[in-house]
Amino acid sequence: MKTSASKIRVADKRAARLLCHAFNDAMRSGAEYKAALVKMMDGQKSLIPELRSLDSKSVLAASNLQVNVMFPNEFRKNAIQMITFLLYKHINPNLGGADRFILEAFIDEQLLPLKEWQQ
């Protein structure tokens, strides 16, 4: 079985860390979930050049986040999916399925547990 080389760059992990940190900070400061996602995207535009032209509200509107999140544990899952989406759609479109899986695990490690967001 032939395996392909990972296309995850150092810049991708850096962007993931920045986005996670911004999201964690927004949630800890008491921001509502969707507002925290907007702050995460908009707040990192100066540090992640690929996000400069991103319209964060359009990204949220196009995502499944239009539907109310029913259970608190889904916040983390949806945040991980959103950050992964930003990475492969806007930052590094060369990421394959295996790379996305690895990045989801990396992002999961970077995000604080739900209980810490709600303190």
Q: How many domains does the chain have?
A: 1
105 CB burial (10 A radius; 0-12, 13-18, 19+): exposed
Rounded distance, CA 23 to CA 19, Å?
6
pLDDT tens per residue across span 37-89: 999 999 999 999 999 999 998 888 877 655 555 577 788 888 999 999 999 99
Is it the case that residue 12 has pLDDT exceeding 90? yes
Residues in contact with 45: Cβ distance below 8 Å, sequence separation at least 6, in sequence order:
51, 52, 54
The radius of gyration of the chain's CA atoms, rounded to the nearest angstrom, is 14
Is it the case that residue 106 has pLDDT exceeding 70? yes
**What pLDDT shows up at residue 85?**
94
On whether residue 1 sits in a domain, the answer given is no
On whether residue 5 sits in a domain, the answer given is no
On whether residue 2 sits in a domain, the answer given is no
Considering the entire predicted model, what is its pTM?
0.89
On whether residue 40 sits in a domain, the answer given is yes
Rounded distance, CA 52 to CA 59, Å?
13
